[in-house]
């Protein structure tokens, strides 16, 4: 398994002497970063085409203009091998409902049509009919035999507004005309809304490639819904194998990440195979190849999930919590999420404050609600690699506190003056380890800190 | 049942014409507010005494001074009738452990000793022995026959530090000498740490009085633990009746309130009876009197809980979510808490943004995790009294949006320039109603918005 992402800067460039900083090639400029991503090719059998257009949302009374991007992902041949994981939100968007129908019908799929700007969630009209009409338009533009049923729709954007279906159908031929088998970057950029940078990763497995891209940064505009992620592969993985694999990969990655604990009405993760690369066995992938593919899929999703957190609204630190020796994976994930969702701990991290009391309190609060019978005599915790808590008491002196403070400063995604660093996102993390001493399960969770910028982005529209 | 709290201002004073504002007597100055609280007398059979002293925490290397308040609550006679509800945090403070022992031993209680500044949680020393030593000192200062076992200790403050036991024992005679049966205000003020105002309420029931006071505003200092609440009453309620009543009252009040979703290691609610007022029946309270007492206790706790939220760190809006027609109280509370704990919705409220999409998304996200089989066809929601969502779609036009925006402005705890209003806290709330249409249970939850000030308080120590 080889990763197709630029190597990452091991330490903050502003902390290096000038000469070393100049050699720190992983701290790419925006141009360099995008050139690197542009070199990530689509797997065999896929093409993408994008276009954008202006329209007047009816909800704005026809007075104001908005811009919508359309992204078409087309397969050269229809495929039965696809899988999807959707939001569990009880008020899901219409495209999620249509997507669930496609998955249940198991009809071959030949295209995905994605729009940003409007999520088609809880709109006053018939959102599902709107999504189906767009699928029909895409099938026509692509000349698909399967019609609308061969197209899966996905939307993110404002909740409550109606899709401009006619304008979308008018524009789809332009996206179809732009279809190209080259770089995956146009698709990764076109699905963005308020994302700060495109999120695109690739890995190799089983003689083929998995290319993943995602959008999602929180909810920047009022009512903006959150995350879409795509994995395209040329490796032939049967749908009955792919679906449970994708569920497990989502659990280990997107479902173990949190910017702000809010699950959107549109969250969707889709995996599509063009079936160009066959496994070593006549009937398909061998068991070893299945394992290899699943490892690659999981790694890809983990990296995309981390990219989403790193691109989180106002994020200045990514927090990585490794929970080990837990009685179950679910409990380990719960502990990790309790830490990255604690507003008190998130705020402390934003302020580079080594506030270990809040860390212990967040863990203890979660365990008290869910596992009050668990023996915690052997529980210990580390921050920045330093032991801070063991046997029910703190184990921290002022030297340890200074070291953790420095770890927090080093892990910042901004430079010393608080300015955002250029592309690419760095693999800097605030490292937390929680050893529950009570089992052999574990989970790694990623989250972001809580900053003034987060509040500004999400509060300061009208005040 | 008569409430002993100042009447509250029905609308923001800055929105009234000058003449009306001058007549708006409920908007008390700090002095007026404190005079009003000072008139709240302790129930018969109780006295309180407070003192403060300077000390050098060993953790600060003996170089810096800190101030600690001691509060003694003494009963004229030992009482078997007391009840307590403690944090479920799995790393509770030593005083919580000692308190649980007192409750289990059921020995008569004659005093409570409270300190602020240090919470005695996870300290490197023997925290329980420290708390017991302080109880011993209090028993000596008060000349109690029951010794340390007749004293219940409570502490809030920095996590991880050791209590200055010797200095506390030296100071206790001063608090004992100050014991007075008059106002409850000295106790309500002495237990404060970073609270903006004292939280003190009283209600009458069964021919006696219930006086409640609480501290808690979030965690302003690094590692500051959160909430203590006390209910003192002269009504004789047997302990076996009082404990389940207090648990139910806590569930309906403190356990349905959230500033920042973090449960501290010290949270404690204590109810003590001096048994001066006997019920109408020879054996104690009649069933009707028990009901009357429980209603009064619940009301008192609900108001104190709302006071705590209103005093929350950086709070500029209190959010009240009334969830109705739920299949269970637990689910109703979960929905309410999901709304007041959603960082996105909280930020929108802070910005006076009528962001109904985030409200619906928060409700749907919670229900998806916990009650995915629930039928939501009849679910509807209101904000500021206006219907905004029904039958799976938004029901909101620009006039409704303007009205909700105005509701948010009117509910601000600050004036038009964003400055905090003077005492007392107002009963202004952002009113949310969620009708699940799927049962007959309900719950009302209070929470606060998420503001720049919250992040500043909790992040900006060291950055």
**Residues of chain B contacting A361 with CB distance shorter than 8 Å:** 89, 91, 159, 225, 262-265
* Interface-testing mutation among B119, B122, B335, with chain A (most A C-beta atoms within 10 A): B122
Helix (H, G, I), strand (E, B) or coil at B391: coil
**Residues of chain A contacting B364 with CB distance shorter than 8 Å:** 89-92, 265
Inside any domain, residue A21? no
Say how far apart CA A262 and CA A370 lie, in whole Å.
20
Residue whose C-alpha is closest to residue A215's, from A251, A246, A189, A182: A189
**Would you put residue B435 in left (φ > 0), alpha (ψ -120 to 50) or beta?**
beta
A459–B348: do the CB atoms touch at under 8 Å?
yes
CATH of the domain at B355: 3.10.20.340
Residue of chain A with shortest Cα separation from B341? A261
Say how far apart CA A454 and CA B276 lie, in whole Å.
54
A122–B459: do the CB atoms touch at under 8 Å?
no
Alpha-carbon distance B325 to nearest alpha carbon in chain A (angstroms): 17
Domain boundary at A310, A337, A361, which? A310
Model confidence at A16, pLDDT cuts 50, 70, 90, reads: very low
Residue A14 pLDDT > 60, yes or no? no
Q: Residue B430 is encoded by which pair of tokens?
A: 């952002």
Alpha-carbon distance A359 to nearest alpha carbon in chain B (angstroms): 9
Tell me the residue ranges of DSSP E strands in B216-262: 228-235, 257-258
Please enumerate in sequence order all residues whose Cβ is within 8 A of that of B252, keeping only pairs 6 or more positions apart, or say none.
Answer: B298, B301, B302, B443
A396–B160: do the CB atoms touch at under 8 Å?
yes
Say how far apart CA A103 and CA A31 lie, in whole Å.
39
Please enumerate in sequence order all residues whose Cβ is within 8 A of that of B323, keeping only pairs 6 or more positions apart, or say none.
Answer: B332, B333, B335, B336, B433, B434, B436, B442, B443, B444, B445
Residue A279 pLDDT > 80, yes or no? no
Inside any domain, residue B115? yes
Helices (H) and strands (E) in chain A, counts: 13, 16
Q: What backbone torsions phi and psi does residue B406 show, to the nearest 5 degrees?
A: -65, -40
Mean pLDDT of all residues in A83-106: 93
Catalytic residue among B79, B87, B209, B226: B226
Inside any domain, residue A325? yes
Q: What backbone torsions phi and psi does residue A421 show, to the nearest 5 degrees?
A: -80, 155
Full residue range of the structural domain in which residue B250 is found: 40-310
Please enumerate in sequence order all residues whose Cβ is within 8 A of that of B138, keeping only pairs 6 or more positions apart, or say none.
Answer: B72, B111, B113, B144, B148, B151, B172, B176
Inside any domain, residue A2? no
Please enumerate in sequence order all residues whose Cβ is within 8 A of that of B438, keeping only pairs 6 or more positions apart, or say none.
Answer: B325, B326, B327, B374, B375, B376, B378, B379
Mean pLDDT of all residues in A274-288: 83
Residue whose C-alpha is closest to residue A208's, from A108, A269, A81, A293: A293
Residue of chain B with shortest Cα separation from A313? B344
Residue whose C-alpha is closest to residue A9's, from A461, A443, A429: A429
Alpha-carbon distance B328 to nearest alpha carbon in chain A (angstroms): 18
* A89 → closest Cβ in B260, B364, B456: B364
Q: How close are the terminal C-alpha atoms of chain B, in Å?
A: 50
**Residues of chain B contacting A91 with CB distance shorter than 8 Å:** 360-361, 363-364, 376, 392
Which residue(s) pair with B228 in the sheet? B215, B268
Same domain, B348 and B405: yes
User: Within 10 A of A169 (CB to CB), how many other CB atoms are there?
Assistant: 16
**Residues of chain B contacting A459 with CB distance shorter than 8 Å:** 347-348, 350-351, 353, 450-452
More confident residue, B114 or A278: B114
Find tokens 């209603």 and name the residue. B295
Same domain, A190 and A213: yes
* Interface-testing mutation among B339, B365, B391, with chain A (most A C-beta atoms within 10 A): B365
Alpha-carbon distance B327 to nearest alpha carbon in chain A (angstroms): 16
Inside any domain, residue B244? yes
Please enumerate in sequence order all residues whose Cβ is within 8 A of that of A5, keeping only pairs 6 or more positions apart, or say none.
Answer: A201, A202, A303
Exposure of A57 in the CB half-sphere (CA atoms within 13 A) = 18
Say how far apart CA A78 and CA B1 lie, in whole Å.
73
Which residue(s) pair with B258 in the sheet? B447
Number of domains present in the structure of chain B = 2
CATH of the domain at A223: 3.60.70.12
Find tokens 């197709």 and name the residue. A4
B222–A353: do the CB atoms touch at under 8 Å?
yes
Q: What backbone torsions phi and psi does residue A228 show, to the nearest 5 degrees?
A: -125, 140
Q: Which of A14-28, A129-143, A305-319, B285-299 has the lowest mean pLDDT?
A: A14-28
**Residues of chain A contacting B261 with CB distance shorter than 8 Å:** 341-343
Say how far apart CA A150 and CA A47 lie, in whole Å.
16
Q: How many residues in chain A?
A: 463
User: Order of strands, edge to edge, in the sheet holding A257-258?
Assistant: A257-258, A441-448, A318-326, A430-435, A380-383, A386-390, A393-394
Alpha-carbon distance B59 to nearest alpha carbon in chain A (angstroms): 9
Same domain, B262 and B407: no
Same domain, A292 and A342: no
Q: What backbone torsions phi and psi does residue B374 show, to the nearest 5 degrees?
A: -65, 135
User: Order of strands, edge to edge, in the sheet holding B66-79?
Assistant: B46-55, B66-79, B109-115, B151-155
Inside any domain, residue A34? no
Helix (H, G, I), strand (E, B) or coil at A209: strand
Say how far apart CA B249 and CA B203 lie, in whole Å.
14
Active site residue B226: yes
Run of H or E including B403: helix B398-410
B452–A451: do the CB atoms touch at under 8 Å?
no
Same domain, A366 and A239: no
A350–B459: do the CB atoms touch at under 8 Å?
yes
Q: What is the pLDDT of residue A336?
A: 95
Helix (H, G, I), strand (E, B) or coil at A392: coil
**Residues of chain A contacting B225 with CB distance shorter than 8 Å:** 357, 361
Alpha-carbon distance B219 to nearest alpha carbon in chain A (angstroms): 8
What share of chain A has pLDDT > 90, as a percent? Answer: 56
Run of H or E including A234: strand A228-235
Q: What is the pLDDT of residues A335-365, one digit of tens each?
A: 999 999 888 899 999 999 988 888 998 999 8
* Interface-testing mutation among A58, A59, A61, A89, with chain B (most B C-beta atoms within 10 A): A89
* Interface-testing mutation among A64, A97, A125, A262, with chain B (most B C-beta atoms within 10 A): A262
A344–B159: do the CB atoms touch at under 8 Å?
no
Residue of chain B with shortest Cα separation from A412? B463
Same domain, A267 and A283: yes
Q: Which of A24-38, A226-240, B68-82, B154-168 has the lowest mean pLDDT?
A: A24-38
Say how far apart CA B138 and CA B146 lie, in whole Å.
11
User: Within 10 A of A244 (CB to CB), how many other CB atoms are there?
Assistant: 11
CA-CA-CA-CA torsion for B418, B422, B424, B425, nearest 10 degrees?
A: 10
Residue-wise over B114-123: b if at least 16 C-beta within 10 A, else e?
Answer: bbbbbbbbbb
- Residue B231, CA distances (Å) to B144, B206, B226, B256, B296 in order: 22, 15, 17, 18, 11
Determine whether A204 is exposed, middle or buried from the number of CB atoms within 10 Å of its CB (0-12, 13-18, 19+). Answer: middle
- Helix, strand and coil in chain B, % to nearest 5: 35, 25, 35
Angle at B410 between CA B405 and CA B416, to 5 degrees: 100
Q: Would strands A268-277 and A82-86 be described as parallel, antiparallel, or unpaired?
A: antiparallel
Inside any domain, residue A196? yes
Find tokens 């690659």 and name the residue. A296
Same domain, B275 and B335: no
Residue A19 pLDDT > 60, yes or no? no
User: Within 10 A of A399 (CB to CB), how many other CB atoms are there?
Assistant: 9
Encode chain B (463 residues) as per-residue pLDDT tens digits.
433 333 322 222 323 233 333 323 345 677 888 888 999 999 999 999 999 999 998 877 767 889 999 999 999 999 999 999 998 888 889 999 999 999 999 999 999 999 999 999 888 889 999 999 999 999 999 999 999 999 999 999 888 889 999 999 999 999 999 999 999 999 999 999 878 889 899 999 999 999 999 998 665 444 445 789 999 999 999 999 999 999 999 988 888 887 666 667 888 999 999 999 987 666 678 999 999 999 999 999 988 888 888 887 788 899 999 999 999 999 999 999 999 988 889 999 999 998 888 899 899 989 988 877 888 889 999 999 999 999 888 888 888 889 999 999 988 887 666 666 656 556 789 999 999 999 999 999 999 899 888 888 777 654 4
Say how far apart CA A324 and CA B260 lie, in whole Å.
26
Same domain, A347 and A454: yes
Alpha-carbon distance B18 to nearest alpha carbon in chain A (angstroms): 24
Q: What is the pLDDT of residue A8?
A: 29
Alpha-carbon distance B26 to nearest alpha carbon in chain A (angstroms): 27
Say how far apart CA A40 and CA A304 lie, in whole Å.
14
- Residue A120, CA distances (Å) to A4, A92, A169 in order: 34, 9, 16
**Residues of chain A contacting B216 with CB distance shorter than 8 Å:** none
Same domain, A203 and A323: no
Say how far apart CA B321 and CA B312 lie, in whole Å.
17
Run of H or E including A435: strand A430-435
Helix (H, G, I), strand (E, B) or coil at B210: strand
Inside any domain, residue B57? yes
**Residues of chain A contacting B351 with CB distance shorter than 8 Å:** 458-463
**Residues of chain A contacting B365 with CB distance shorter than 8 Å:** 87-90, 262-264
B91–A261: do the CB atoms touch at under 8 Å?
no
Domain boundary at B289, B310, B331, which? B310
How many interchain CB pairs under 8 A, A with B? 239
Catalytic residue among A226, A233, A299, A316: A226
Same domain, B447 and B412: yes
**Residues of chain A contacting B458 with CB distance shorter than 8 Å:** 343-344, 347-348, 351
User: Order of strands, edge to edge, in the sheet holding B208-215?
Assistant: B82-86, B268-277, B228-235, B208-215, B199-205
B355–A261: do the CB atoms touch at under 8 Å?
no
Domain boundary at A310, A338, A373, which? A310
Residue of chain B with shortest Cα separation from A91? B364
Q: Residue A332 is encoded by which pair of tokens?
A: 């380990």
Task: For B345-389, give the DSSP string.
Answer: HHHHHHTT---HHHHHHHHHHHHHHH-TT---TT-EEEETTEEEE
DSSP, res A417: T
Run of H or E including A248: helix A239-252
Same domain, A301 and A322: no
Report whether A154 contacts A268 (CB < 8 A).
yes
B264–A160: do the CB atoms touch at under 8 Å?
no
Same domain, A284 and A329: no
Please enumerate in sequence order all residues whose Cβ is within 8 A of that of B270, keeping only pairs 6 or more positions apart, or say none.
Answer: B82, B83, B84, B99, B112, B152, B154, B228, B229, B230, B231
């Amino acid at each position: 398994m080889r990763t197709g992402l630029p190597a990452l800067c091991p330490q903050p460039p502003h902390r290096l002497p000038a000469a070393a900083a100049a050699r720190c090639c992983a701290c790419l400029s925006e141009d360099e970063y995008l050139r690197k991503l542009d070199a990530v090719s689509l797997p065999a059998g896929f093409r993408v085409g994008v276009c954008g257009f202006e329209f007047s949302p009816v909800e704005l009374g026809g007075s104001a203009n908005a811009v919508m991007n359309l992204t078409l992902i087309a397969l050269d041949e229809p495929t039965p091998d696809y899988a999807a994981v959707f939001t569990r939100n009880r008020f899901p968007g219409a495209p999620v409902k249509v997507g669930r129908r496609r998955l249940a019908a198991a009809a071959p799929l030949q295209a995905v049509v994605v729009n940003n700007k409007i999520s088609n969630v809880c709109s006053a009209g018939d959102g599902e009919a709107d999504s189906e009409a767009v699928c029909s338009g895409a099938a026509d533009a692509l000349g698909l035999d399967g019609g609308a049923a061969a197209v899966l729709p996905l939307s993110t954007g404002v909740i409550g507004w109606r899709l401009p279906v006619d304008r979308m159908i008018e524009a789809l031929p332009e996206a179809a005309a732009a279809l190209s088998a080259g770089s995956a970057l146009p698709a990764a950029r076109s699905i963005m809304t308020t994302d700060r940078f495109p999120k695109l990763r690739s890995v190799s497995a089983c003689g083929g490639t998995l290319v993943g891209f995602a959008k999602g940064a929180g909810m920047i505009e009022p009512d903006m819904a959150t995350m879409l992620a795509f994995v395209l592969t040329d490796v032939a993985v049967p749908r009955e194998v792919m679906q449970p694999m994708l569920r497990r990969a989502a659990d280990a990655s997107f479902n173990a990440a949190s910017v702000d604990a809010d699950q959107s009405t549109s969250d969707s993760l889709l995996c599509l195979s063009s079936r160009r690369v066959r496994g070593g066995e006549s009937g398909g992938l061998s068991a070893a190849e299945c394992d290899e593919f699943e490892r690659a899929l999981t790694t890809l999703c983990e990296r995309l999930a981390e990219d989403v957190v790193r691109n989180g609204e106002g994020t200045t630190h990514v927090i990585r919590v490794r929970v080990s020796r837990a009685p179950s994976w679910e409990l380990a994930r719960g502990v990790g999420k309790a830490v990255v969702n604690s507003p008190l701990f998130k705020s402390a991290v934003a302020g580079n404050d080594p506030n270990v009391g809040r860390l212990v309190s967040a863990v203890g609060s979660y365990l008290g609600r869910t596992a009050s019978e668990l023996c915690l005599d052997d529980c210990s915790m580390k921050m920045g690699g330093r032991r801070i808590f063991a046997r029910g008491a703190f184990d921290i002196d002022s030297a340890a506190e200074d070291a953790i403070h420095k770890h927090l400063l080093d892990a910042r995604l901004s430079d010393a003056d608080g300015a955002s660093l250029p592309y690419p996102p760095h693999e800097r993390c605030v490292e937390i380890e929680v050893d529950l001493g009570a089992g052999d399960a574990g989970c790694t969770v990623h989250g972001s800190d809580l900053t003034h910028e987060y509040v500004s982005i999400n509060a300061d529209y009208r005040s």
